[in-house]
Chains A and B, each alone.
Chain A
Amino acid sequence: MDERDLHGLIGRVKDGRLSRRAFVQRMVALGLTAPMAGLMLAGNGVALAADIRAGYKPTKAGGGGALKLLWWQAPTLINPHFAVGTKDQDASRIFYEPLAAWDPDGNLTPVLAASIPSRENGALAADGRSVVWTLKPGVTWHDGKPLTADDLVFTWEYARDPATAAVTTGSYKDCKVEKIDDLSVRVLFDKPTPFWCDAFVGVVGMVLPKHLFGPYSGAKSRDAPQNLAPVGTGPYRFVEFRPGDIVRGERNPNYHLPNRPYFDTIEMKGGGDAVSAARAVLQTGEYDYAWNMLIEDEVLKRLETGGKGRVDVVYGGKLEFLLLNATDPNVEVDGERSSITTKHPAFSDPKVCRAMNLLVDRKSIQTYIYGRTGKATANTVNGPERFVSKNTAFAFDPAKANALLDEAGWAKGSDGIRAKDGKKLKLVFQTSINAPRQKTQAIIKQAAAKAGIETELKSVTGSVFFSSDPANPDTCTHFYADMEMYAYGATQADPAIWLLMYASWEVAQKANKWQGRNVVRWRSDAYDEAYNAAQSELEPVKRAALLIKCNDLAVSENVLPLIHRAEVSAVGASLTAPRSGWDNDLAFLPDWYRDA
């Protein structure tokens, strides 16, 4: 075996025709040690982390019959750049593909790209101002036209145009995309950008065909017939779509990955509720896969005893957290409460925040409420591993909390409730209506009462709480309460956008119609400084250190992370469905198969 054969083999590992294990075995047969073989792959740009595509067993495409998916929220449109919720993004992912997808460890896996750009292969500029993406040759759209660099340039133009009203605009408006040749483009940034893999990657990155969407850019975007009848490059071709009901597809015989996809047809049925969706997979086996099982683990365990399927858990960036308002929700300034010109009577003191932190029994919340579907955490950034802080810890310690409150000058009154300067420590604690959240509220209320803090629990309907309506005072972004709890999901395997939630310039207030990301209204110069430094730091290790510092600063005061929540699905017993918490549920759909 000479060098050329070796490169050929490595190439086959790269595009998935040869599994990592098979490669390592061959090398071992040639007398190399296994770690050596692994290093060889790593040196050639094949990620060392477990390759998500390597477990694929079928040796030919097709023959798998029908794959039946059940989404309890029905997709309402199939244009990834208009997708309002995950349901629409998932439906789009059956037909459209990005250049690269995020694997479970938060690393990039090439999809339409020939390889992942890196400093080593020269695709990533040293000054962090540009990146070159090269398309895999020979990929065609479902109508037979070839995929070219023009499609990438078009997708960028389409998504960035405000008149298109694409929800992905944020990922495209600050960069420029220019064509180098038929198969490669250069993405240019106007300032050094350490997180260069936003446009064309993952959920926001799905590429649209220029030859079909070209006439429907900008204000005409809503008239495009392809909004309801997609033509993409994905593993399945479009057959039928009924908004709010069902999406059907059939195997794409010209799919660009070898031996894929396995199933002949695919259908995604929508509607109903999570519990009955779980039943259809776990108890009756009518469906192969059900998405987003927002059900208590107790119930899931009971349904699982049917033996028709299992519960599958992957972790992404979804976090359940508690916010302690840094501003005063009871004082009105210029027609807004929780104004940043005010200070919260209790939570402006870091000691009170720390005491509150010690009163949250995360371990019990995890054990009794979330079970397998969440992990107690002290960090706001919980992945990928390289960004997770090791400096933090959580504890449940009412005695210490009491001591801290005494120290802060909040003395217990005759009624057992603490007070300072004649102000009682009575707090309003709000969240959305959702059984696990009400139970969590009760656990926290009980512990707080032991420390002399009286909490009034308030629950708001989800559709109000999460609404962006500037006129409604009960939304989570108005935060007209002392404490509030909800969950939020980072959709990228990079915490930079997530951490904007604590940046001082992002404060949600009347001036920005409460659209700012910083809901807790906590502001810190040290945080802003670390964040801004991370935004221009190109050295990955230094940047990670800065972002970890941001995490540590935020969680030391008004931000109380509670539970790192998993993406939970119900999967039929015979189905192998690799998934990543950092991308759509269907990001690795071509690699799904059924054991015969």
Chain B
Amino acid sequence: MGAYILRRLLIAIPSLLGISLILFVVLALAPGDPFGELAANPNVPPEVRAALRVKFGLDDPIFTRYLSWLTAMLHGDWGFSFASRVNVDTLILQRLPTTLFVVGSSQVLALLIAIPVGLYAARRPYSLADQVANTLAFVGFSLPTFFTGLLFILLFSIKLGWLPFVYQADLPGSGLPWLWANIRQAIMPVAVLGFFQAASYTRYVRASALDVARLDYVTTARAKGLSEGTVTRRHIARNALIPVVTLVALQIPAVFGGAIVTEQIFRIPGIGSLLIDAMLSNDTPVVMAVTFVFAGLVILFNLVADLLYGWLDPRIALR
């Protein structure tokens, strides 16, 4: 087991290097530069722009820039945002709690919907309930979040005036009103993301519950005279959730990544909106750091998923 983990981690190093190189080159080749906005300001003399480019090393060859980025990264220096003139790690850490809260709660909501609905649908396949659940699941993941997001805003904020549509990471105040304000502003983004995820999870839960329900030990359980509810809870659900757990583990990087589009619509100051802003202002160090974190998380959680799988199902051996 230990040797397996070590080997997987060692394999990860060249892939991370490769990922970072590709990211860097693509970003360097992309058009635009961080001081483009200064070009639209007649008061800024061209020399100032040129000096800034030199100061931030934008005129060096790509490979030199990559090497200096890499050596800094190896020393734990994440780089320095051109736009904010602060360290990138500070920026990311500032954004992390909001993303974890919003995207995390949407994952919880998704599971709370998907597991009962999926299991219920699988109990009587092709019944009316199953058809309804299936249809809703299809509708759910066919509608993109930017569409449902806008729809929610139009309905709940503008027509009905119930919910605010501008999210604030740290509302001033305390006590119950503060808690309520936080919940109120999170309802829409969490629902938009949660429903979208729930739709695909439901399909997984249903499919894997159907697989398990056909197995002999389930028939045995029923033959023992156990009630249908107990069979579903004790015997079907447990085994059916193994693939779902892996799926959720693989989704964790996405949780960190936030939901870029949803964050933009609701102005949630999370990692996703940081990435978008950084891309729009060509803030290379921030884009590099955020995407690199994502790449690292994907590799890490792939490993975690594999380990989890082996732990949940001892028949699978890790070598």
Do the two chains bind? yes
Q: List the B side residues contacting A336 at CB < 8 Å.
A: none
Question: Would you call A477 an interface residue if the criterion is a C-beta within 8 Å of the partner chain's C-beta atoms?
Answer: yes
Binding-face segment, A123-131, A495-503, A528-536: A495-503
Binding-face segment, A6-14, A182-190, A281-289, A356-364: A281-289
Q: Is the CB of B43 within 8 A of A500?
A: no
Also in contact, A468 and B35, with CB within 8 A (given A279-B158, A515-B46) = yes
Q: Which residues of chain B (58-102) have a CB below 8 Å from chain A?
A: 80-81, 83-86, 91, 94
Q: Is the CB of A272 within 8 A of B42?
A: no
Partner of B85, one of A222, A245, A287: A222
Question: Would you call B164 an interface residue if the criterion is a C-beta within 8 Å of the partner chain's C-beta atoms?
Answer: yes
Q: In the complex, which residue of chain B has the Cβ closest to the Cβ of A474?
A: B31
Could you give, for residues 230-267 of chain A, a 1 whenever the CB lies within 8 Å of some chain B CB and a 0 otherwise? 00000000001011111010000000000000000100
Binding-face segment, A56-64, A92-100, A163-171, A581-589: A163-171
Binding-face segment, A340-348, A382-390, A486-494, A541-549: A486-494
Q: Is the CB of B85 within 8 A of A284?
A: no
CA distance A119 to B154 in the complex (A): 58
CA distance A166 to B158 in the complex (A): 43
The size bracket of the interface on A is 35 or more
**What's the least CB distance linking A508 to chain B, in Å?**
9
Q: Is the CB of B85 within 8 A of A82?
A: yes
Q: Is the CB of A469 within 8 A of B165?
A: no
Q: Is the CB of A276 within 8 A of B265?
A: yes
Q: Is the CB of B166 within 8 A of A269?
A: yes
CA distance A591 to B131 in the complex (A): 62
Question: Would you call B274 an interface residue if the criterion is a C-beta within 8 Å of the partner chain's C-beta atoms?
Answer: yes
The size bracket of the interface on B is 35 or more
CA distance A498 to B50 in the complex (A): 20
Q: List the A side residues contacting B161 at CB < 8 Å.
A: 284
Question: Would you call A227 an interface residue if the criterion is a C-beta within 8 Å of the partner chain's C-beta atoms?
Answer: yes
Q: In the complex, which residue of chain A has the Cβ closest to the Cβ of B56?
A: A165
The residue in A265, A273, A469, A489 that gathers the most chain B C-beta atoms within 10 A of its C-beta is: A469
Q: Is the CB of B38 within 8 A of A204?
A: no
CA distance A501 to B47 in the complex (A): 16
Could you give, for residues 460-478 of chain A, a 1 whenever the CB lies within 8 Å of some chain B CB and a 0 otherwise? 0101101111001010010
Q: List the A side residues contacting B169 at CB < 8 Å.
A: 242, 245-246
Also in contact, A76 and B264, with CB within 8 A (given A466-B39, A468-B39, A469-B31) = no
The residue in B32, B51, B165, B282 that gathers the most chain A C-beta atoms within 10 A of its C-beta is: B32
Could you give, for residues 11-35 of chain B, a 1 whenever the CB lies within 8 Å of some chain A CB and a 0 otherwise? 0000000000000000000011111
Could you give, for residues 265-286 of chain B, a 1 whenever the CB lies within 8 Å of some chain A CB and a 0 otherwise? 1010100011001001110000
Q: In the complex, which residue of chain B has the Cβ closest to the Cβ of A87?
A: B37
Q: In the complex, which residue of chain A has the Cβ closest to the Cβ of B153?
A: A276
- 19 examples of A-B residue contacts, CB within 8 angstroms: A76-B81, A84-B35, A203-B43, A243-B84, A243-B86, A244-B91, A245-B169, A246-B169, A269-B168, A270-B267, A284-B158, A287-B166, A463-B32, A468-B33, A468-B36, A469-B36, A492-B43, A513-B46, A515-B46
Q: Which A residues contact B (CB, under 8 angstroms)?
A: 70, 74, 76-77, 79, 82, 84-85, 162, 165-171, 203-204, 222, 227-228, 240, 242-246, 248, 265, 269-273, 276, 279-280, 283-284, 286-287, 461, 463-464, 466-469, 472, 474, 477, 488-492, 497-498, 500-501, 512-513, 515-517
Known: A165-B48, A167-B41. 14 other contacts (CB 8 A): A169-B48, A222-B85, A243-B81, A243-B91, A244-B83, A246-B168, A272-B264, A276-B153, A489-B40, A489-B41, A501-B42, A513-B46, A515-B46, A515-B50
